[in-house]
């Protein structure tokens, strides 16, 4: 049976490349963006019967609308890649970060993946091939955290914690988080050393793990790394 995969924030950058690779492997991919037009353009470029849908992970009503669409029209979900994220406070000390930026970052980077996974958990529980991949960052490693981007780093550390908890909750699934590295995207900038293909590799690997693959881990370049 063909798998159905949802990739959040997949109209550009790493998310687009992940969606493209999963579709090329035979998955039916739901391509999402905050703007429906962007999702439609990306899905058309990807092809392979990709499905565009509007999704703003910072809004629970938008998440619920997508969940209802999947339940009604597709009736299955096998792969969830929580990729959508924002970066608002690069290069600022924590004491100067506005509370509104800190809250917005956590709403998109933590509450978003939490609410999306929670909303779609019933479908994932029904899948014999359930895979959840949370796109984290080396900036979220407590073992080496710096003041690079305080709210972003803290949000990714929280996302790592959520990964462990969902791995325990969704026992039938393989639930992991991944650091794609510093990638040349709108967020990473043009001076980043890694291509989107390199950034997507570990995500696609985790999304296509065998049934006996790892769960509850944090990975970079297909190797487990410290929290």
How far, in Å, CA of 54 to CA of 140, rounded?
28
What tokens were used for 14? 């790493």
**Candidates 41, 44, 152, 223; catalytic one:** 152
How far, in Å, CA of 182 to CA of 5, rounded?
25
Give catalytic status of residue 152 as yes or no: yes
**Candidates 41, 118, 148, 156; catalytic one:** 156
What tokens were used for 74? 């597709």
- β pairing state of 131-135 and 51-54: unpaired
Q: How far is CA 220 from CA 48, 152, 154, 205, 217, in A?
A: 29, 18, 18, 11, 10
- β pairing state of 223-224 and 218-220: antiparallel
Give catalytic status of residue 156 as yes or no: yes
Active site residue ranges: 152, 156
């Amino acid at each position: 049976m063909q798998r159905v995969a949802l990739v959040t924030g997949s109209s550009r950058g790493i998310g687009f490349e992940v969606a493209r690779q999963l579709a090329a492997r035979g998955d039916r991919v739901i391509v999402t963006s905050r703007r429906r037009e962007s999702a439609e353009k990306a899905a058309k470029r990807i092809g392979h019967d990709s499905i565009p849908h509007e999704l703003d992970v910072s809004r629970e009503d938008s998440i619920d609308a997508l969940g209802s669409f999947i339940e009604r029209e597709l009736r299955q979900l096998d792969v969830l890649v929580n990729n959508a994220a924002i970066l608002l406070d690069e290069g600022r000390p924590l004491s100067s970060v506005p509370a509104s930026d800190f809250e917005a970052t956590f709403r998109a980077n933590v509450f978003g993946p939490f609410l999306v996974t929670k909303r779609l958990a019933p479908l994932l529980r029904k899948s014999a091939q359930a895979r959840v991949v949370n796109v984290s960052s080396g900036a979220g490693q407590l073992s080496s955290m710096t003041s690079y981007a305080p709210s972003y780093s803290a949000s990714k550390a929280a996302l790592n914690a959520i990964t462990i908890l969902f791995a325990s909750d969704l026992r039938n699934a393989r639930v992991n988080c991944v650091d794609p590295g510093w990638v040349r995207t709108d967020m990473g900038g043009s001076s980043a050393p890694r291509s989107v293909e390199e950034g997507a590799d570990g995500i696609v690997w985790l999304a296509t793990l065998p049934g006996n693959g790892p769960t509850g881990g944090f990975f970079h370049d297909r190797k487990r790394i410290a929290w």
